[in-house]
Structure 1
Amino acid sequence: MAAAVHKLLHHGHHSSSQNEPAPTSPHDRQNSAMDRARDDEKHSLAHWEDHEGQTGANADDKRVGHSSPLLRQEDFELVKTLGTGTFARVWLVRFVDPRPDDPHKVYALKILRKVDVIRLKQVEHVRNERNVLAAVAGHPFITTMVSSFQDHDSLYMLLDYCPGGEVFSYLRRARRFNEPTSQFYAAEIVLILEFLHEREGVAYRDLKPENILIDAEGHLKLVDFGFAKKVENRETYTLCGTPEYLAPEVIRNTGHGTAVDWWAFGILVYEFLVGQPPFWDQNPMKIYEQIVEGRVRFPSAMSAEARDLISGLCTVDTSKRLGNIKGGASAVKSHSWFQNIDWDALYNRKINGPIVPHLRGPADTRNFDEYEPEPDNREPYSNEMKDKWDEYFKDF
């Protein structure tokens, strides 16, 4: 084979006539093979939903959540910014040049600049986020990371697009949710926490309405796994989360595990029903004092079942906290406040969501805010940084 290639390269120009195509070099052939492989990868990802619902499958067998050595930013048309953070920007994107038979799909592409991730000391959080999302890809109520990839400057996570926007926006418009709506959303979150804690050993650590999106059918999708961490049965000590939702053990820095999510879930149910969280003050230190004291004041209109559920979840002593006691998530699911929930039908998305967003099509962005364009003159990712840090980003 090598001899034939050598012959082609060195003698081809003598034998080719004007009308014959010029012979391709190994480099050209390699490029066309790469292009074909990239095209196949895009085609496969355009059909990722055919393989959804494989949570818990062996990571190697799963078609979603893998790291792609083939994808590049140029494969995507950046349509509109959906959100920005201190070191990330999320874009609505679609594939450039899809195959004619591929569905016209859009995605959310989270772009994290390596320089910013390093400068803000977020390397560990970003690695956790990518690896947790890969492990949980395919769950019906968690944003699906379809694939991840990287280039010299940036890390990328290709996620399913949730056109309904944040639950937070609907809650603010409605002031508060009625009990059936609150129960539906709360029940889907119980199924998420049950899966994260009991199947994956993951503490989510940032449960709040801003991190819960509504999909086209009105079901929830939990997003932003930047603080998620595989803790199994160990304790961790990083102070992270949002002040009103922090559990007492996080504030006291006595070590925490998955129980923090059940506390935050109690706060969330309260906010759904009342319109604001139970512990609130302009001064975060005052919020922390209220949380550590742990006295929830309930409005008189709240049902006895809802009060009992929230009291069980917002218990300062983790050994007595509902969700963390014997039975785990099952004890939460069997609480009287959830007596009308058919858990199997809910997991299989057979129950309609209480709020179905009005959408003009799959690429509708009306439920997302407008954002400033990205600043120019960003600090480049130097070769010195690459030598020091790229090893940490190898999972991408």
Structure 2
Amino acid sequence: MASAAMHKLLHPHRSREENHPGQQNPASSHERQDSAGMERVREEEKHNLMQWEEQKHPLAPGQIQNQEQKHVGYSSEALRQEDFELIKTLGTGTFARVWLVRVKNVNNGDENKVFALKILRKTDVIRLKQVEHVRNERNVLASVAGHPFITTMVASFQDYDSLYMLLDYCPGGEVFSYLRRARRFNEPTSQFYAAEIVLILEFLHEQQGVAYRDLKPENILIDAEGHLKLVDFGFAKKVENRETYTLCGTPEYLAPEVIRNTGHGTAVDWWAFGILVYEFLVGQPPFWDQNPMKIYEQIVEGKVRFPSAMSEDARSLISGLCTVDTSKRLGNIQGGAGTVKAHPWFRQIDWEALYYRKVGGPIVPHLRGPADTRNFDEYEPEPANREKYTKEMSDKWDEHFRDF
């Protein structure tokens, strides 16, 4: 976080007095000081990025909550895109592109300290009416930075036409890819991954009041040690005890209350978690059809059909989670996530050891090194002629992006 000294460097006092002819212009002197000060801050931040890569470790829930003491999740006024070498595109969306990057001009031995840099063009964010989602994503990621199983937003920053989120890099790629290759996960593997997700949802719901709202295998990455990292917080929203009505998510994972538009809260994540556990064990979600409307009909009906080979404990857990009545849904009833953690299907899990990453992951990716990208697809280069961010847009929208 920016120290008091750094704050002064970033926000120096400017003289408002007019200069008389013949006097030295104090503004130019201030500008030189500003520039030198900002350069010092910038170099210090780049140095700290290299240190963080060596020191990163899970923070206790109380430490994550303390924004002043943790050194991640901050908004930087010094970092710029040109501080990073763009190595390869890791993913693209309708208004964002994620790059594998390394900090430029680093010391020997630091070349393998890489990050993921999410770049969002302001024009696209505005055109696609995603301003509120992007702000939610940035602010939620800042508040949860340091959790062992959520992608760490180390810093965010912006320039005239783009927004940036600097994230830790997960070289293992998507859980979805491993699941498709394996067809289904065995019960111990499914239990391990499911347990890490329980710890994520417990923290988001009970410490942050946040509904994630897009739980699916494509949004879960595997890191170098074989642990999960939840990514893409574009639909995440701080709801606390209120209900929200935005229709968002992926058809097979939508909860009945989202489809009915009766208002929803964090309970939607426990429904999606039940669908996810089913997909881990079976290889496909329980509600499926080529026609999304048919999927919605099946979800609202809420009848899960289990294969005969599935264990009784697994059926019991999924049935408790995929309950149409939210007042009876496991995870949403009194006791919250504790009721899920206490379920017999998780009887082998040591929750504290798991949280602090003392238990090895069941699938450890084979990697050539920290910057290996073999688990990510190839993407087309960015289109050359992009819509410009105009002064009119800047005047209207820059206030909305001040959090960055």
Q: TM-score normalised to the size of structure 1?
A: 0.92
Distance in 2, Cα, partners of 1:104 & 1:66? 23
CA distance in 2, matches of 1:336, 1:240: 32
CA 1:57–1:258: 2 relative to 1, 3 Å: closer
Distance (whole Å) between structure 2 residues aligned to residue 197 and residue 138 of structure 1:
16
Q: For 1:76, which of 58, 75, 84 is the aligned residue?
A: 84
Q: Which of 33, 51, 60 matches 2:68?
A: 60
- 1:13-42 C-alpha deviation (Å, 9 max, x unpaired): xxxxxxxxxxx9765554333222211011
Residue 35 (structure 1) aligns with: 39
SS at match of 1:80: strand
| Secondary structure at 2:64 match in 1 | coil
Following TM superposition, by how much is the alpha carbon of 1:57 offset from its aligned partner in structure 2, in angstroms? Answer: 3.7
Question: What are the equivalent positions in structure 2 for 1:164-243 lying under 5 Å apart?
Answer: 164-243=172-251
Q: Deviations over 1:303-353 (max 9, x none)?
A: 010000000000000000000001110100010100111111101111110
Quote the residue 1:249 is aligned against: 257
Range with greater deviation from structure 2 (33-42 or 287-296): 33-42
Letter in 1 for 2:125: V
Per the alignment, residue 109 of structure 1 pairs with 117
Q: State whether structure 2 residue 393 is matched by structure 1 residue 352.
A: no
Residue type of the alignment partner of 2:227:
H
CA distance in 1, matches of 2:51, 2:400: 30
Distance 2:263 2:343 in 1: 28
- 1:1-150 matched pairs, under 5 angstroms: 27-49=31-53, 50=55, 52-54=57-59, 55-100=63-108, 104-150=112-158
Question: Any idea what the Cα deviations from partners look like across 1:271-315, whole Å, max 9, x if unmatched?
Answer: 000000000000000000000000000001100100000000000
Which of 379, 383, 386 in structure 1 is aligned with 2:391?
383
Alpha-carbon shift at residue 259 of structure 1 (Å): 0.2
What CA deviation, in whole Å up to 9, does each residue of 1:145-195 have, x standing for no partner? 000000011000000000000000000000000000000000000000000
Q: Which amino acid aligns with 1:196?
A: L
Using the alignment, how far apart are the partners of 2:33 and 2:236 within structure 1? 43
Question: Structure 1: which 5+ residue stretches go unaligned?
Answer: 3-8, 11-23
Q: Secondary structure at the match of 1:56?
A: helix
Runs of 4+ in 1 over 6 A off after TM superposition: none
1:332 to 2:340 alignment: yes
Match for 1:31: what amino acid? S
User: Contact conserved, 2:65 with 2:144, CA < 8 A, in 1?
Assistant: no
User: 1:43, 1:102 within 8 Å by CA — same for their partners in 2?
Assistant: no
Secondary structure (helix, strand or coil) at the match of 2:155 reads strand
Q: Secondary structure at the match of 2:268?
A: helix
Separation in structure 1 between the aligned mates of residue 345 and residue 375 of structure 2, nearest angstrom: 31
The letter for the 1-side match of 2:356 is N
Q: Give the superposition deviation at 1:51.
A: 5.6
In structure 2, what is the Cα distance between the partners aligned to 1:34 and 1:116? 29
Is the 2:123–2:161 contact (alpha carbons within 8 Å) kept by the matching residues of 1?
Answer: yes
- The whole-number CA distance in structure 2 between the counterparts of 1:296 and 1:171 is 21
* CA–CA distance in structure 2, aligned partners of residues 95 and 233 of structure 1: 41
In structure 2, do the counterparts of structure 1 residues 147 and 74 end up closer, same or farther at CA, with 3 Å as the change threshold? Answer: same
Q: Hey, what's the Cα distance between the residues in 1 that align with 2:30 and 2:141? A: 38
Measure, in 1, the Cα distance between the counterparts of 2:211 and 2:385: 37
Letter in 2 for 1:228: A
Which residue number in structure 2 is paired with residue 364 of structure 1? 372
Q: TM-score, normalised by structure 2?
A: 0.90
Quick check: 1:51–1:63 contact (8 Å CA) kept in 2? no
Matched residue SS, 1:315: coil
- The question of whether the paired residues in 2 share the 8 Å contact of 1:51 and 1:64 is answered with no
d(CA) in 1 for partners of 2:267, 2:44: 43
Mapped partners of 2:111, 2:83: distance in 1: 16
Distance 1:310 1:277, change over 3 A: same
